[in-house]
Amino acid sequence: MEECCCRENGSFSLWCILGLILIVGSSHIAHAQDSPTDFVNTHNLAREAIVWNITDLVWDNKIAAFAQNYANQRKDCKVTPSDSGGRYGENIAVSPGNMSGVEAVNLWVAENPHYNSYENKCEGGECSHYTQVVWSRSLRVGCAKVKCDNRGTFISCNYYPAGNIPGETPFP
């Protein structure tokens, strides 16, 4: 590798410098997709795609601390709901490899085709993660991510007030 990047006089070639920039930059991008801003923006894009005047979710550090405390207990990567005593709604995503926060939210949003808004029910697949993302009365979110013992990824987002109330629709 040194021979590809270094010239005989010891200076670096342009290709070597560009390669290093790409390597360093791509590792920064992967981490950037796990920031509170990334979680919130991805949620809000999905919400705005459904209802143009929906209230944006805002990041809540207290809820994020709850999510982080719970995620730290799930390093086994087992999907078990947290016990918030009904205080928070929750979405969980688990991957056998690396997954960003943006990818997790997009996974939940991808359930959209299974939601029948006319009858307020899921048809042909899971949709309750999607309905929590777009639940218009949920105003605050906090999320956390941990690397599992098996090298997988566990991501949890909690919402206040909780969504998915039986008999209610996500966006009245």
Tell me the pLDDT tens digit for each residue of 144-164.
999 999 999 999 999 999 999
Q: How far is CA 118 from CA 29, 127, 134, 169, in A?
A: 39, 14, 16, 10
Sign of the CA dihedral 81, 82, 85, 89?
negative
Higher-confidence residue of 51 and 99: namely 99
Mean pLDDT of 60-73: 97
Band the pLDDT of 57: cuts 50, 70, 90: very high
Question: Which tops the pLDDT comparison, 117 or 17?
Answer: 117
Helices (H) and strands (E) in the chain, counts: 6, 6
pLDDT reported for residue 31 = 52
**Per-residue pLDDT tens over the stretch 86-113:** 899 999 999 999 999 999 999 999 999 9
Query: In this model, does residue 46 exceed pLDDT 50?
Result: yes
Evaluate whether 133 touches 109 at the Cβ level (below 8 Å): yes
pLDDT at 33: 83
Checking if the pLDDT of 48 tops 80, the result is: yes
Tell me what pLDDT residue 5 has: 32
Spatial contact of 154 and 92, defined as CB atoms under 8 Å apart: yes
pLDDT reading at 30 higher than 80: no
